[in-house]
Structure 1
Amino acid sequence: MNRQDNELITRIGPGSAAGSVLRQYWQPAALIEELDGPRAVRPVTLLGESLVLFRDEQGRYGLVDRRCSHRGADLCYGRLENGGLRCPFHGWLFDVNGDCLEQPAEPEGSTLHERIRHRAYPCVERAGVIFAYMGEGEPPAFPDFDCFRAPDTHTFAFKGQWDCNWLQALEVGIDPAHASYLHRFFEDEDPRDSYGKQFRAGAAGTEIPLTQVLRDYGRPDIRVENTGYGFRLVTTRPLPAEQTHYRITNLAFPNAIAIPMSGDMTITQWHVPIDDTHCYWYAIFTSFGAPVDRATMRAQRLERHTLPDYRPTANRDNEWGYNADEQATQTYTGMGMDINVHDQWAVESQGAIQDRTIEHLGKTDVAIIANRRLLRAAIQARQQGEPLPFREPLVDADTGPVAVDAIGGRDLGEACWRALDRVRRAGASWWAKERA
């Protein structure tokens, strides 16, 4: 890739090519929990724009320009009252739609407020996350994924900041080959102790630890299948006794992935640009079995993140916790047992914006190549005024992202993981109710 193309697909600020594409899809803006407390107002930087998120007295969410349309004062210090956010400088009041409701210092009868349109973006709340649409025209249909169909009792949302460009963060999630190396553990934990941990449970349909499968079979076959939401990755690893490990993961264009966490839990995760060199990952964990133990899941993640910024405690400043003795005896990276830290090191160590001009891609990078082609095609479509892909709802909810690890006969192919997914859904109380 040349330098110009690398800039094209990574830069996301106002007026940029990739940023224009991302703005045409719903993007996570904050967790609901970030508005907890006595005052439901917080600053948000999203796609390079400085904004303020608030919840008014009616429970409506507003995401507006942080600078007051009057004289540019900081609305993050605004007063929540009278149906909107009021600037303390001169009392101008803005609602969630960006309408100026009041200008109390102006002469009686003034209609100036009727001509003010403060920049504002529509918001919706789903599964503990506030999503915003920052594009032009009507928003696309909201994705009909499992994480949005499941009730709140069966989902848990969290986020974390990485100090790198959004695209390299996304690309680690559509790279199945790295799991056999970056996330290699030299000893396996009991899968029964794996709750809330990635790659520590057994593959569905077996008690073989997934860590063992990934460690012992490090040369996977990876196939990309086009779908109505982006593409599906079918990763297979041949096992003894004519068995095969199937790992089904997904890209939900333009910047989300859907991956399995355990036999009854999946992760849908967005990599959302803060600016060109920082991003958040937003993850929604969805259970097909018992209700999610939110207290445990949150406590696990707060052991490794600080609030209110959701920054990881392992970072470049402390070498991501690297320990040479651990690398020699316990883990491939020497960076602890949390695979999020491994991924974080992989993408942050590439630099703030990865220099793709030095890459030498191989066959296992098939999804990386496919995604970059999709993104460039979408950029071209946007520049030529043509429709963008994957903005329409899926025809059948069952065609949405299926994320599963399965082990079955080598000759079963898709029938193996499809059957396992059907069994999982049949046993999910919320899915059965939805389909009734």
Structure 2
Amino acid sequence: MLVTQQPVFRNFWYPVVPLDHLSPTKPFAFELLQEAIVIWLDEAGQPAAAPDRCCHRSAALSLGTVKDGCITCAYHGWQFDREGTCQKVPQLQDKTMIPKTYRIPSYHCTERYGYVWVCLGEPLQPIPEIPEASDAGHRVIHEFYEPWNCAGLRVMENELDLAHPTFVHTTTFGSEEHPIPDSLAVEETDYGLKIRATLGVVNPELQQKNLQMDEGQTVRHLDMDWFMPFTCCLRIHYPNGLTHMVVNTMTPIQDGRSQMVQFCVRNDTEAQTAAADAIAFDRQVTLEDKTILETTDDDVPLNAKYEQHMMTDKPGLLIRRRIAALLKEHNETEQTRHCD
């Protein structure tokens, strides 16, 4: 499946940039589902989004500035508000003379979890709900915001694949003694999937520091959610009561390129575990995954016959079936390079 060739994916929310990356005077350019968009802060300091193209002579609006909450085109100075309405044309003395046709499209745009989320179409589902992120007993640690050269669907399957840690995460937590999970239960939900599992792991020195424990071996109790189409939330529960949550969204840029947005949520304090240490360990884990995933085919086949499978692939196969059903529901056929 080629994600940019399936219009239905325009109807989901994606995080596109950390809110603190935005300037009150300078717009921000991004590519979402192969479409150039521009993001800026309106007069209330809230993010707004539109195609990165002026309706006058098609110049990139991201080259311009932001003034009084309006994005100003660098070519002729036309200004547009968050709804796309032209508020100023310097070449016209009277604002009432601006034709109603002087406007640009606008996109759904809001802030959540410290990121700007954008939906190019009409949202089919809300932004994934992560209750712990606003709970006083937890803290949010922003980790990674970077492009990966792979399909988001591959990463989602990898997040829920409990057979790969033994072989991929050899320097972090993978245990040779536990090549498969001790238990695995999968439940379909209205938003995607819920997975509960237990997995034996090892704990190198840095991880022991993060977990506030001196054990080299332990069991991870996993409570995982997949939110259609490309967000996973992994709640990792440890025997000492610590919960380390990893929230990961792969925002589709192009078919073979995604923006990896990841933050973690923990029920401890900075005094117990420094955020920098938690990030450092998760950095090792993500780089081990990235090395493998960037070698995979970005055209992920929804039809199971094109790849071979084993019992631990059940979550991934259910993801593919749910996406295939989504395409069918919206009268779309799978766009793919695979041939019968």
Confirm or deny that 1:348 pairs with 2:302.
Answer: no
Q: Which residue is 1:143 aligned to? A: 128
Q: Which residue is 1:275 aligned to? A: 254
Report the Cα distance in structure 2 between the residues aligned to 1:41 and 1:233, rounded to whole angstroms: 40
The 5-angstrom pairing of residues 17-416 of structure 1 reads 17=6, 20-35=7-22, 39-106=25-92, 108=94, 111-136=97-122, 140-150=125-135, 154-157=139-142, 158-185=144-171, 211=174, 214-220=175-181, 221-237=183-199, 246-261=221-236, 263-290=242-269, 296=276, 300=280, 338-353=284-299, 359-383=307-331
1:145, CA displacement in angstroms?
A: 1.7
Report the Cα distance in structure 1 between the residues aligned to 2:159 and 2:92, rounded to whole angstroms: 53
Judged with a 3 Å threshold, the aligned counterparts in structure 2 of structure 1 residues 103 and 228 are, in CA distance, closer, same or farther, namely same
Judged with a 3 Å threshold, the aligned counterparts in structure 2 of structure 1 residues 298 and 280 are, in CA distance, closer, same or farther, namely farther
Secondary structure, aligned partner of 1:290:
coil
Report the Cα distance in structure 2 between the residues aligned to 1:109 and 1:161, rounded to whole angstroms: 42
Report the Cα distance in structure 1 between the residues aligned to 2:85 and 2:57, rounded to whole angstroms: 16
Q: What root-mean-square deviation, in Å, do the aligned CA atoms of Structure 1 and Structure 2 show?
A: 3.1
Task: List runs of 5+ in structure 1 lacking aligned partners.
Answer: 1-6, 186-198, 201-210, 305-337, 385-436
1:264, CA displacement in angstroms?
A: 2.5
Secondary structure, aligned partner of 1:383:
coil
Q: Which structure carries more helix by proportion?
A: 1
Report the Cα distance in structure 2 between the residues aligned to 1:105 and 1:279, rounded to whole angstroms: 41
Report the Cα distance in structure 2 between the residues aligned to 1:245 and 1:152, rounded to whole angstroms: 21
Is the 8 Å Cα contact of residues 169 and 271 (structure 1) preserved in structure 2?
A: yes
Report the Cα distance in structure 2 between the residues aligned to 1:119 and 1:103, rounded to whole angstroms: 17
Q: Which amino acid in structure 2 is aligned with residue 67 of structure 1?
A: R
1:294, CA displacement in angstroms?
A: 7.7
Report the Cα distance in structure 2 between the residues aligned to 1:153 and 1:102, rounded to whole angstroms: 45
Report the Cα distance in structure 2 between the residues aligned to 1:229 and 1:112, rounded to whole angstroms: 44
Judged with a 3 Å threshold, the aligned counterparts in structure 2 of structure 1 residues 163 and 244 are, in CA distance, closer, same or farther, namely closer
Q: Which structure carries more strand by proportion?
A: 2
Deviations 1:195-244 (A, max 9, x none): xxxx65xxxxxxxxxx5xx33121324331122431122234589xxx98
Report the Cα distance in structure 2 between the residues aligned to 1:31 and 1:114, rounded to whole angstroms: 33
Confirm or deny that 1:11 pairs with 2:37.
Answer: no
Report the Cα distance in structure 2 between the residues aligned to 1:39 and 1:180, rounded to whole angstroms: 48
Q: Which amino acid in structure 2 is aligned with residue 77 of structure 1?
A: L
Q: Which amino acid in structure 1 is aligned with residue 178 of structure 2?
A: Y
TM-score, with structure 2 as normaliser: 0.79
Report the Cα distance in structure 2 between the residues aligned to 1:52 and 1:301, rounded to whole angstroms: 33
TM-score, with structure 1 as normaliser: 0.63
Report the Cα distance in structure 2 between the residues aligned to 1:148 and 1:246, rounded to whole angstroms: 20
Judged with a 3 Å threshold, the aligned counterparts in structure 2 of structure 1 residues 253 and 297 are, in CA distance, closer, same or farther, namely farther
1:368, CA displacement in angstroms?
A: 1.1
| Structure 1 stretch displaced more, 125-134 or 151-160 | 151-160
1:355, CA displacement in angstroms?
A: 7.0
